[in-house]
Amino acid sequence: MSRSWWDRMWVIQECVLPDSAAIYFGAFKVQFAMFSLAALALVQHSAACCATTFHSLSEKEKDLLDHFSKAIMDIAMLASNLRTGA
Ligand SMILES: [Zn+2]
């Protein structure tokens, strides 16, 4: 249980195996594909047009966003590889 939520095997399994996964948080529902796009946008913007803003965040905030984007992109890559047989 020391692993973060996005690193837990059942979370990865529930995101990777279905053709379309959704994330529920209270009354909100978001498709995993949208999370994947958000993670990609975070990486791209934090290295380019929004770099100044990103670097003004605390180390803890940057670590959290880095971990979020890496975990989501890793899961998305795993799902893509599973579908393409890569
Ligand atoms: Zn930007």
Q: What are the residue ranges of helices labelled H in 1-86?
A: 9-16, 32-46, 51-55, 59-84
Q: Ligand 1 centre and the CA of 82: distance in Å?
A: 31
How many C-alpha atoms does 19 have within 13 Å on its Cβ side?
A: 0
pLDDT at 3: 65
Stretch 24-49: mean pLDDT, rounded?
A: 93
Q: Ligand 1 centre and the CA of 25: distance in Å?
A: 26
Q: Ligand 1 centre and the CA of 37: distance in Å?
A: 14
Least confident of 5-9, 15-19, 58-62, 63-67: 5-9
With a threshold of 0.85, does the pTM exceed it?
no
Distance CA 60, CA 72 (A): 18
Q: Ligand 1 centre and the CA of 3: distance in Å?
A: 30
Distance CA 77, CA 67 (A): 15
Query: For ligand 1, a single-atom ion, which residues have Cβ within 5 Å?
Result: 45, 49-50
pLDDT at 2: 57
Q: Domain map of the chain by residue range? A: 5-84
pLDDT in tens, 52-80: 999 999 999 999 999 989 989 999 998 88
